A and B are shown apart, each in its own frame.
Chain A
Amino acid sequence: EAGVAQSPRYKIIEKRQSVAFWCNPISGHATLYWYQQILGQGPKLLIQFQNNGVVDDSQLPKDRFSAERLKGVDSTLKIQPAKLEDSAVYLCASSFLQGATYEQYFGPGTRLTVT
C-alpha cells in the first residue's frame, strides 16, 4: 500500500513570496489533515477535511493560508504572502474513517524555509 505522498520535500522562499504544497493521501482515506511543525515543537493542526469538506480550520491563519481538497482526494496548502515565522515542516496525514480510534498516517513532510 502506498503511503501519504507530499511534494516538494524542501522549499526555500523569500518573505512575502507565495508557496504551495501538495498532498496525496492513501487511497480510500476520507479524512485529510494538514499540520504545521515548527522546530522544537510538536505538530499543530492547521486544517482537517472530511472528503472535500472542511471540518476544522480554527487554527488556520486565514489571512495568508488557504487549503483545498478538490474531488475529495489530493489537497493543496498555500501560503501567500509568507512570513519568516512560517518556516516549519508541513505534514499531511490521512485516516480511513472519522473516529478517534482510526490511525492517522503521516507523509514525510515539506520543510519550508522563509528567508
Chain B
Amino acid sequence: AQSVTQLGSHVSVSEGALVLLRCNYSSSVPPYLFWYVQYPNQGLQLLLKYTSAATLVKGINGFEAEFKKSETSFHLTKPSAHMSDAAEYFCAVRMANQAGTALIFGKGTTLSVSS
C-alpha cells in the first residue's frame, strides 16, 4: 500500500535561512513523488516531481528535492527562505490503482517565515 508521512506539521524559519521539509513514503510500486504548495484559499500548485529519472529534482521558486530509495525519503529544501514561501506544503505519492495517476497526500507541513 502507498502512504506518505510528513515529519513536522509546522516548520518555522527566518528569512534567508535554509528550508527543510521532510517526507517519507511507502510504495508497493516504483514511486513517483511530488511536492505541492498551497496558499490560503487557493488550490494546490506543483513545485516539483520525481518520476524515476534524476534523483535530485529541481522545481520552481528555488526548491529542490532528493529521492533517496534506501531511506524512502523525498525531502524538500530551499537554500534561502523568502517571506513569500510561507504556505502549506504537501508531499504526495502516486496511487497504485488501476489508473495509476491519482495521488496520496501527506498531512501537510505549514511553513512560517519570519523577518
Contacts and interface: CB of A to CB of B under 8 A. Distances in A.
Given A42-B106, A108-B42, A98 B101 contact: yes
A115 B53 CA distance: 48
B49 A43 contact: no
A108 B43 contact: yes
Contact of A106 (B44, B49, B95, B107): B44
B49 A101 contact: yes
Contact of A44 (B45, B94, B105): B105
A95 B99 CA distance: 12
A48 B101 CA distance: 9
B99 A48 contact: yes
B28 interface: no
A101 B34 CA distance: 10
Contacts of A107: 43
Contacts of A100: 32, 51, 94, 100-101
B102 A48 contact: yes
Given A42-B105, A42-B107, A43-B44, A98 B49 contact: no
B101 A43 contact: no
A31 B101 contact: yes
Nearest to A104: B103
Interface string B1-27: 000100000000000000000000000
Interface of B: 4, 32, 36, 41-46, 49, 51, 90, 92, 94-95, 97-108
